[in-house]
Structure 1
Amino acid sequence: MKWFEIALVVLTFATGIIWLLDRLLFARRRREAAGLLEEKEPLVVDYARAFFPVLFVVLILRSFVAEPFRIPSSSMMPTLLIGDFILVNKFTYGIRLPINNRKVIALGEPQRGDVAVFRPPHHPDQDWIKRVVGLPGDLVAFEGDTLYINGERLDYQLLGQYEGRGRGRDMTGVAVLREALGDRPHDVLESTGVHDPRGQGEWRVPEGHYFVMGDNRDRSDDSRFWGTLPESQLRGKAFLVWMNFDSSAPGWVDWSRIGKGIQ
């Protein structure tokens, strides 16, 4: 995704500069040289004039308003499924420059329960998505199948067994639980008796960092394994599923997921 972002920025600036230089320096000379004849615009200028407005609008929308992402893994099931195409609000956590992700205007910070897109410190060229469970200063603990925030055990309600579809069908039969994370209750998946010892423990969240976890607790590579997430790595807040496509699922498209809000 980062290389696409770099290419978009380079193409936008290149076409814009070509168009601007032509209007300021070369167009008048061509008209004077052509005289009564029809002016012939160079092909590169013609392409720059045609593509620059489109590229500029796409760059602004993608960098500062909303960006599309595709869910490639099962780590956020059952909230997000493999094959979901989502939209991410790019200004919720502040206005950031493309490519280097530097925040230039502070507008807000992640709240507990947000589903956030970010670039993990150990894979800075990849976009990941997890749920924010720990805020700066929090003491987060995970024991067995239970999450604790600042020493308080979260409440869980067993909803039944999960029935997967498509590429997520191997999760069929695991427990679906409603986790009461503050005022943001949401569903999580838990495989009974499956506890990776590396994902058990207690962590203090430093200032300027967040603790993130996947809703599919036994299939998620998250802060339990690689540490807290620096604020500078945040990309935006996921808010909508706009398409679902999984060639392994019956019918390929789950129409019920289109337009589904992300909680």
Structure 2
Amino acid sequence: MFWLTRVRSHSMAPTLRDGSLALTRKLGRRTPIRRGDLVVVDSPELGEPVVKRVIGLPGERVTIAGGRVSIDGRALSEPYASPSMFNDSYQVPPAHYFLLGDNRDASSDSRTWRQPFVERAALVGRLWTGWRH
């Protein structure tokens, strides 16, 4: 099943602009989730569906320091993201994901949510990017 998702913030700029529409495909229960996927998450904290990028997978340690993100000690190449001065470290629990916006200093995401880790069931769709899926 496909639908159009409207981006309702600047958190994914420059990848996605506020107000833009993106073709989205429903995620089945067994659809694999990969790092870098752009997903629609049904956020109970924000009370609405939002678009974010999958950064941390179940069981990984995500470290953000000096504007760089590392996964289990290896720097992540993120040409799509703006650097941020935010610093912290997270251990992603089983069956959960760590999500960030590409416009790091303008994004409400796993770094700022009361519950930073998102259950698999809350990931409802993946945006079609035209080159990866």
Name the TM-score, length of structure 2 as normaliser: 0.89
- Contact 1:79–1:262 (Cα < 8 Å) also in 2: no
Larger fraction in helix? 1
Q: Which consecutive residues of structure 2, in runs of 5 or more, have no partner in the other structure?
A: none
**Is 1:146 the equivalent of 2:82?**
no
Q: CA deviation at 1:144?
A: 2.0
- Structure 2 CA distance for aligned equivalents of residues 217 and 133 of structure 1: 12
- Structure 1 CA distance for aligned equivalents of residues 124 and 60 of structure 2: 22
What RMSD over aligned residues (CA atoms) do the two structures have, in Å? Answer: 1.7
Change (3 A) 1:262 1:224: farther
Q: Residue 100 of structure 2: which of 199, 202, 213 is its match? A: 213
* Structure 1 residue ranges, 4+ long, deviating more than 4 angstroms after superposition: none
What secondary structure is seen at the aligned counterpart in 1 of 2:43? Answer: coil
Q: Please list, as runs of the form range in 1=range in 2, the aligned pairs for 1:1-263 lying within 5 A after superposition.
A: 65-90=1-26, 93-94=27-28, 106-123=29-46, 125-155=47-77, 179=78, 186-190=79-83, 195=85, 199-226=86-113, 227-240=116-129, 261=130
What secondary structure is seen at the aligned counterpart in 1 of 2:53? Answer: strand
Q: CA deviation at 1:108?
A: 1.3
Q: CA deviation at 1:107?
A: 3.0
Q: CA deviation at 1:78?
A: 1.0
Q: CA deviation at 1:200?
A: 1.9
What secondary structure is seen at the aligned counterpart in 2 of 1:218? Answer: helix
Q: CA deviation at 1:75?
A: 0.4
Deviation string 1:69-122 (CA, Å, 9 cap, x unpaired) is 1112110011101121111101xx31xxxxxxxxxxx33121111000011231
What secondary structure is seen at the aligned counterpart in 2 of 1:78? Answer: coil
- Structure 2 CA distance for aligned equivalents of residues 187 and 126 of structure 1: 24
Higher relative contact order (CA 8 A, sep 6+): 2
Deviation string 1:157-201 (CA, Å, 9 cap, x unpaired) is xxxxxxxxxxxxxxxxxxxxxx2xxxxxx42123xxx63xxx421
- Contact 1:121–1:229 (Cα < 8 Å) also in 2: no
What secondary structure is seen at the aligned counterpart in 1 of 2:81? Answer: strand
Change (3 A) 1:118 1:211: same
Name the TM-score, length of structure 1 as normaliser: 0.47
Q: CA deviation at 1:214?
A: 0.6
Q: CA deviation at 1:262?
A: 6.8
Rg larger for: 1
